[in-house]
Amino acid sequence: NAGVTQTPKFRVLKTGQSMTLLCAQDMNHEYMYWYRQDPGMGLRLIHYSVGEGTTAKGEVPDGYNVSRLKKQNFLLGLESAAPSQTSVYFCASSFRPRQGRLGEQYFGPGTRLTVT
């Protein structure tokens, strides 16, 4: 099993450009998440999905869009990149809650994005 994979691993964008980050998992997880990680700020949730065809906003959703057309894939889009979106982006997945307990999350290796 590959677990959670992310593409690309690195990317440099100019302000105003757009791009899509792809996350794929082969563990049949229902839930998927996109986080950004900035120095000293931990992991901040951008968007998440509790199932195919559903998405919801997290803590810092502005400037991002997501789609989950297939259970195994979760796409994060930046329509018009800004320098403030320079960050490391992590995708994660987990099973749906069981007995009210959120499942452990499995993280992808991350995408390092620089916007100039």
Partner 1 sequence: QQPVQSPQAVILREGEDAVINCSSSKALYSVHWYRQKHGEAPVFLMILLKGGEQKGHDKISASFNEKKQQSSLYLTASQLSYSGTYFCGTGLTGGFKTIFGAGTRLFVKA
Binding site for partner 1 (CB under 8 A): 31, 33, 35, 40-45, 48, 50, 56, 58-59, 90, 97, 100-102, 104-110
- Separation of alpha carbons 89 and 72, rounded Å: 18
Quick one: 59 or 79, whose CB is closer to partner 1?
A: 59
- The distance of closest approach from Cβ of residue 48 to partner 1 in the complex, given in angstroms and rounded to an integer, is 6
- Separation of alpha carbons 47 and 60, rounded Å: 8
- The distance of closest approach from Cβ of residue 15 to partner 1 in the complex, given in angstroms and rounded to an integer, is 26
- Separation of alpha carbons 55 and 50, rounded Å: 7
- The distance of closest approach from Cβ of residue 90 to partner 1 in the complex, given in angstroms and rounded to an integer, is 6
Quick one: 65 or 106, whose CB is closer to partner 1?
A: 106
Is the torsion defined by CA of 19, 92, 37, 58 positive or negative? positive
